[in-house]
Amino acid sequence: MAFDKTRFGGVVAPIVNPCGEDDSLDRGALEANLTRLLATDVAGLYINGGTGDAANLTQDERLETAALLVPRLLAAGKLAIVHVGQTNQRQAVELARQAAALGAHAVASIPPKKPWPQIVEYYKALAAAGAPVIVYYIPGVTGMTAGMPELRMLLDIPGVAGIKMSDWNIFLLRSVVLEYPEKVVYSGFDEMLVPGLLYGADGCIGTWANLLPDLYAKVYARVRAGGTDAVKPVMDEFTAFLAVGWNYGIIDTFEELMRARGYAGRCFRRPSAWEPGKVEPAVLADLLARLQRLEDMAAAL
């Protein structure tokens, strides 16, 4: 599928792959979350990413998930990006080939923990699979930091269409935007939603879009229209909400709220630090009230 940068803007929700107590894929919950997100104004979905617990899925589960989600997204006119990383190159290429055959708009991948010349070869192999490639820069997970010299090595590969940047270094994101205006740039940290957009990101791929898809979509639209002042109270409320969550581990808090809302029994497979009830009942009630308040504020935007 030919790359059209204008098609890639907006909020791309990294859909969860819920599981049961035996850690197997909960297909019913996956279908329900797909239906729920398709009914919102998110631009599309990011399939089998970290929020989708892809590293703990079997290869068959990842193939099955992509085969289920991509056609539904295309039928709904939504963006489909399939993450193929957190695995070895042979499996990543297999996943990338499947995504290309399904008609996915792009594939994405974190880099393997290898020297940069080998990372370049890895992304070349993904690009050869047929779909545009989104590099995923997330040093907090990979332990690999980069500057523009290293990122240029990847962004200059034919077939690499852009980058997702999950990093606090907002200047590095801005540098990519300025040097590669033809590439799509996604901001990955939820806390950096508005700063990323103000620094030129084309969109965002953030975990909390699973719980607040309408807020994300409206904030994106308002910022793009120059209405930054209008979203400031919402983002002040959102960052205060996230600050409470960080006290319990932000991913554990996310999982607790997904369960409380009935969206997933579990989001992340064992071994996991989270168990139901990790967040005290009073705090959970407060977080749910804050979540509702954020939804109300988004509705008023």
* CATH number where 25 lies: 3.20.20.70
- Please check if 87 is assigned to a binding site: no
Please give the model's pTM, rounded to 2 decimal places: 0.97
Establish if 268 belongs to a structural domain: no
Q: What is the pLDDT, as a whole number, of residue 1?
A: 47
- Quote the domain boundaries for residue 181: 7-227
Tally the domains of the chain: 1
pLDDT of residue 3: 64
Residue 264 placed within a domain: no
pLDDT for 273 equals: 86
Determine, yes or no, domain membership for 258: no
Q: Is residue 141 part of a domain?
A: yes
Give a yes or no: residue 61 inside a domain.
yes
pLDDT 10s digit of each residue in the chain, 301 long?
456 899 999 999 999 999 999 999 999 999 999 999 999 999 999 999 999 999 999 999 999 999 999 999 999 999 999 999 999 999 999 999 999 999 999 999 999 999 999 999 999 999 999 999 999 999 999 999 999 999 999 999 999 999 999 999 999 999 999 999 999 999 999 999 999 999 999 999 999 999 999 999 999 999 999 999 999 999 999 999 999 999 999 999 999 999 999 999 999 999 998 888 899 999 999 999 999 999 999 999 9
Q: Is residue 164 part of a domain?
A: yes
Catalytic residues: 136, 164
134 is in an annotated binding site: no
pLDDT at 4: 83
Measure the CA dihedral 89/95/97/101, to 10°: -170
* Residue 167: predicted pLDDT: 96
| Residue 110 included in any domain | yes
Give domain status of residue 251, yes or no.
no
